[in-house]
Structure 1
Amino acid sequence: MSATNSDFLIIGGGVIGMMTALQLADAGHRVTLLERGECGREASWAGGGIVSPLYPWRYSMPISRLSRWSEGFYPELSLRLLEETGIDPEYRQKGLLYLRVDDAEQALDWARVVGKPLERVGADFLYAKEPQAAPGFESALWMPTLGSIRNPRLGQALRARLMAMPQVTLCEDVDVERLCVEHGAITGVASRAGRFAAGQVIVCGGAWAAQLLRSAGVELAVRPVKGQMILFKAPPELVRRVVLMDGRYVIPRSDGRVLAGSTLEEAGFDKRTTDEALASLRDSATRIVPALADCPVEHHWAGLRPGSPDGVPTIGAVPGINGLYVNAGHYRNGLVLAPASTRLLVDRLLGREPIVDPSPYCLTGSRGA
């Protein structure tokens, strides 16, 4: 078994794994990160980049706490990565318009309780903000503070930053097959590229996390949930901000391209796209912004979310195996919760005061199986 000469070994090079590596390296620790493919190319690449749960008032308090802490993190991170790597993650804070919300009063009550800017606006405001939105709406909900980030470029920037840090060893195309445990302690991992010795291992494997932990006899209630999305090639400013209706959304990019998503499918690890999903997504997008019907669909893809029963991620030590930790199960909110969930775990690893109460995220018998 080859030694990593690192303080921490991280499995999984998505946004969760890369942010964990960045924070540990910033704190002066040596880190080795293993990724089965190329960093940032799984769920972190496939999502939309909205920096908020879609309907935040419908989520439990553990998710809300992480989401609220994370929200203000991306503007600073985006500027840092642009300065350090020259890659712009394109953080945009243009707000979000909600069309046709059945539980609007509940949403407004939630916003008052948590102090979140959210208001009901009339048609004049709606169409001034988004002239191409579907006609005929007399009102909408408006969240001015919502931001979005171009998640593929965020992944590229995080990867570039880690590769430039001397205390980080980034190993791609390393498919970890099992965790190695001896006498109740982690000793490393076995992969097709060989074995890596480590006394502290962090599993950030996304939809694959449960398989990894099962190799050590640990059950984690995380499963792959497929999501398909499409990308329109549209002129700049056709869509100016995120618009959400009936659970589907459109997200503009700075160059005019518009993402539309997404599906929720229980299909195991099958990432194939389907004509049915393409037609459904296109229909949803053109109902939100009818002018998109005149724009070609440039790309259609699928990704695998790490689904969990209640959407609350598991963050912390694995009971019974000294030195083994997990950060997985973020479901639809991996990008949203990544800053807070990684900070929470790093706080625990380094003995710092945690940013939130860690107990709702601990791996227990009821949450693990």
Structure 2
Amino acid sequence: MADITIRGAGIFGLSIAWACIRRGAHVTVIDPNGPGAGSSGGVVGALAPHVPENWNAKKAFQLESLLMAEPFWAEVEEVGGIPSGYARSGRLQPILDAKGLELARQRAISSAALWGNQAKWSVNQADGAPWAPLSPTGWLIRDTLSAHLHPRTACNALVSALSAKGVTIQSNGPDAGAVIWATGTAGLEALNRRHHRMVGNGVKGQAAVLQFDAGAAPQIFADGVHVIPHSDGTVAVGSTSERDYEDPGTTDAQLDGVIERARAAVPVLKDAAVIHRWAGVRPRARSRAPMLGHWPDRPGHFVANGGFKIGFGMAPKIAEVMADLVLEDRNQIPDGFEVKASF
């Protein structure tokens, strides 16, 4: 039985622990702040695809991961007995002008080639339903690949599933066996110190939770804002992207702007009360893609970092390729994701 130490109990660390324990490894997860304490403890949880055009390895990897998500979370929920909040209910986007309408129709064609029969991107006339974004053209994009979950709930579901397999999250402890560093912004800063230029940095995001029960409605992306209906009768809206900030855990007027844009785009939210405001720092690699693989100058150590805005969507596939690498020495990581590509 292989010994694996995972440092970091965010979505990457917990998902990789799950993949490794399923393959029979002995896993220790260490995080001094506890599970989901960083950006993985957010509130939005949009699992949305890149547009189906200019296809590349990152988009193909993401497609595979989004398709893996439903069985991944179903098994986690079954073993741990706690819901993750996962739902593949699709996404609506307003089309702003004639040029956007033509582009959306072109993407409907390309999605059929790139996504096959696994998901659909379609252009539809708005039908006046209350849960829909305002559209200047009267047309909406609907894709069936997008899904969502509640980040905190999902992390708790993984913790419960791991606990059922005998794994608890420890606040400290020694390394045993291979060590996987999934430590978010702190991990990027550690890599920066060992390299001649910046490998990555933290980007602050702010989001809010509104009291509104949209049921099993699709998520909405409008005016740069994600609007996510959660199964607990709330709607999350977000987020900002701030490279310059003083207090990473404090919300401010920038979040007020996000809430206003969400209400303007989705009028049914006009009077929904704000019940929670959240701010945190997300790890962004210089390449904007996840950073995976061997730590270049530390034998036996590995990196899984840089989830930024797509960490939860990428997690099911990242967990498997990291387990392949660490347990079986099989490297299935796309070239653009490998840590060595950033050094």
Alignment TM class, shorter chain as reference: 0.7 to 0.9
User: C-alpha separation between the residues in 2 aligned to 1:60 and 1:367?
Assistant: 21
Are the counterparts in 2 of residues 6 and 32 from structure 1 also a CA contact under 8 Å? no
Q: Which AA in structure 1 matches 2:122?
A: E
Q: Which runs of 5+ in 2 are unaligned?
A: none
Are the counterparts in 1 of residues 16 and 318 from structure 2 also a CA contact under 8 Å? no
Are the counterparts in 2 of residues 209 and 222 from structure 1 also a CA contact under 8 Å? no
C-alpha displacement of 1:66: 1.9
Tell me: CA distance 1:357–1:131, structure 2 relative to 1, closer, same or farther (3 Å). Answer: closer
Q: Which AA in structure 2 matches 1:155?
A: C
Residue of structure 1 in register with 2:25 after alignment: 29
User: C-alpha separation between the residues in 2 aligned to 1:343 and 1:29?
Assistant: 13
- Give matches, 1:114-193, under 5 Å: 114-115=114-115, 116-124=119-127, 127-128=128-129, 130-131=130-131, 133-134=133-134, 137-166=137-166, 168-172=167-171, 174=172
Residue 68 of structure 2, aligned match among 66, 73, 84: 73
Residue 296 of structure 1, aligned match among 273, 281, 301: 273
Identity of aligned residues (%): 25
TM-score by length of 2: 0.88
Residue of structure 1 in register with 2:224 after alignment: 247
Tell me: CA distance 1:219–1:158, structure 2 relative to 1, closer, same or farther (3 Å). Answer: farther
User: C-alpha separation between the residues in 2 aligned to 1:89 and 1:63?
Assistant: 25
Deviations 1:140-197 (CA, angstroms, capped at 9, x unpaired): 111023221122111001112222323x35213x4xxxxxxxxxxxxxxxxxxxx614
Residue of structure 2 in register with 1:46 after alignment: 42
Q: Which runs of 5+ in 1 are unaligned?
A: 175-194
Deviations 1:321-365 (CA, angstroms, capped at 9, x unpaired): 2101101112211111111112111111122655x553322222x
Residue of structure 2 in register with 1:18 after alignment: 14
Answer with 86-95 or 223-232: which moved more.
86-95
Are the counterparts in 1 of residues 201 and 286 from structure 2 also a CA contact under 8 Å? no
Answer with 247-256 or 210-219: which moved more.
210-219
Tell me: CA distance 1:205–1:197, structure 2 relative to 1, closer, same or farther (3 Å). Answer: closer
What secondary structure, in the 3-state scheme, does the structure 1 residue paired with 2:19 have? Answer: helix
User: C-alpha separation between the residues in 1 aligned to 2:186 and 2:293?
Assistant: 17
Residue 325 of structure 2 is aligned to residue 322 of structure 1: no
Residue 254 of structure 2, aligned match among 272, 277, 283: 277
Are the counterparts in 2 of residues 100 and 246 from structure 1 also a CA contact under 8 Å? no
Q: Which AA in structure 1 matches 2:170?
A: C
Q: Which AA in structure 2 matches 1:94?
A: S
What secondary structure, in the 3-state scheme, does the structure 1 residue paired with 2:339 have? Answer: coil
User: C-alpha separation between the residues in 2 aligned to 1:21 and 1:28?
Assistant: 11
Answer with 270-279 or 22-31: which moved more.
270-279
C-alpha displacement of 1:92: 1.5
In the alignment of these two chains, the number of paired residues is 335
Are the counterparts in 1 of residues 293 and 333 from structure 2 also a CA contact under 8 Å? no
User: C-alpha separation between the residues in 2 aligned to 1:340 and 1:218?
Assistant: 30
TM-score by length of 1: 0.82
Residue 311 of structure 2, aligned match among 293, 314, 334: 334
User: C-alpha separation between the residues in 2 aligned to 1:47 and 1:344?
Assistant: 27
Q: Which AA in structure 2 matches 1:285?
A: A
Residue of structure 2 in register with 1:85 after alignment: 80
Deviations 1:74-99 (CA, angstroms, capped at 9, x unpaired): 22233223222221112212211111
C-alpha displacement of 1:305: 1.1
Are the counterparts in 1 of residues 40 and 155 from structure 2 also a CA contact under 8 Å? yes
C-alpha displacement of 1:216: 6.1
C-alpha displacement of 1:72: 2.1
**Cα RMSD after superposing both structures:** 2.6
Answer with 55-64 or 308-317: which moved more.
55-64
Tell me: CA distance 1:6–1:170, structure 2 relative to 1, closer, same or farther (3 Å). Answer: farther
What secondary structure, in the 3-state scheme, does the structure 1 residue paired with 2:261 have? Answer: helix
